[in-house]
């Protein structure tokens, strides 16, 4: 009961802050804001929820980006997770979540922790062009004229019998190519 109250209070506080500091236009952007609020609420619930002997629940889909050219994680890369619209044959996509990699190049909270993903065909897209432009600004000439992949997309399938599993979808990237694997 108290955890539900904490989550609802968090949503109310965020709405009031958006109205106070972002104006009515910011408050009117309800769909993306609501999805972000739900994700943060899921994190709050994961921290407050009593758990048995196991670790706290985590997002069922996580990722990280490694810049193999620079030899380090890629921070602040915009990431979009989408699911193929049912019956579209993977020609129409519904955005499920958006996020940015942290200083370690990771996103551990794309989806609400402890809530299984829907089965289906997923695509995770990494905006590596934006990241590359920041690297270029910090290291002039390093990537000059080498941009080839403005975005990297990885598609994967979650079957109905896999919804209780964790899916870690990392990206190893450089200006000339990228690779992925099913992580743990």
For 90-107, write each residue's pLDDT tens digit: 789 999 999 999 999 999
pTM score:
0.69
- Give me the residues paired with residue 155 across strands: 123
Q: What residue segments make up the domains of the chain, in order of their start?
A: 57-67+111-126+155-183
Instruction: Report how far residue 114's alpha carbon sits from residue 80's, in angstroms, rounded to the nearest whole number.
Output: 20
Mean per-residue pLDDT of the chain: 82
- Give me the residues paired with residue 80 across strands: 98, 125
pLDDT at 95: 96
**Contact between residue 113 and residue 43 where contact means Cβ atoms under 8 Å apart:** yes
Closest CA to 59 of 122, 116, 3: 116
pLDDT at 28: 57
What percentage of the chain has pLDDT greater than the value 90?
A: 44
Question: Which two three-digit tokens encode residue 24?
Answer: 């009515």
* 30-87 pLDDT, tens digit each: 556 666 666 666 666 655 555 565 666 789 999 999 999 889 999 999 999 999 998 8
Q: How many CA atoms lie within 13 A of 48 on its CB side?
A: 13
């Amino acid at each position: 009961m108290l955890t539900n109250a904490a989550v609802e209070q968090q949503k109310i506080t965020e709405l009031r802050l958006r109205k106070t500091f972002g104006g009515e236009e910011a408050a009117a952007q309800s769909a993306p804001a609501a999805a972000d609020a739900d994700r943060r609420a899921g994190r709050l619930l994961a921290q407050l929820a009593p758990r048995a002997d196991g670790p706290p629940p985590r997002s069922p889909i996580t990722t990280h980006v490694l810049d193999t050219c620079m030899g380090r994680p890629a921070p602040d890369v915009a990431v979009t997770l989408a699911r193929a619209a049912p019956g579209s044959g993977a020609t129409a996509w519904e955005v499920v979540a958006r996020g940015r990699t942290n200083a370690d190049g990771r996103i551990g909270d794309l989806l609400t922790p402890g809530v299984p993903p829907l089965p289906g065909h997923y695509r995770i897209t990494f905006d590596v062009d934006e990241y590359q432009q920041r690297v270029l600004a910090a290291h002039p000439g390093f990537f000059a004229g080498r941009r080839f992949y403005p975005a990297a997309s990885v598609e994967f399938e979650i079957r109905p019998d896999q919804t209780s599993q964790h899916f870690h979808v990392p990206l190893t990237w450089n200006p000339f190519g990228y690779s992925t694997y099913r992580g743990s």
